Amino acid sequence: MNLELRAEVFNVFNHTQFFSPDGNITNGASFGQVRRAQDPRLIQLAMRFTF
């Protein structure tokens, strides 16, 4: 029998990671603004028991 525990952490320090600014000049007021960011800190836990 074997028990395996696993943890995966993404963006462990939870730093904001922005996408590129809006580069379309025809968008008017939203030109040059950053409107989205990557996912925040994600933690995934898993356990597997084999016998």
The DSSP call for residue 37 is B
- Residue ranges of the domains in the chain? 2-50
pLDDT over 90 percentage in the chain: 37
How many Å apart are CA 16 and CA 3, to the nearest integer? 35
CA 11 – CA 44 distance, rounded (Å): 12
pLDDT over 80 (residue 8): yes
What is the model's pLDDT at position 12? Answer: 86
Judge whether residue 4 has pLDDT over 90. Answer: yes
In the structure encoding, which two tokens stand for residue 23, read together?
Answer: 């580069």
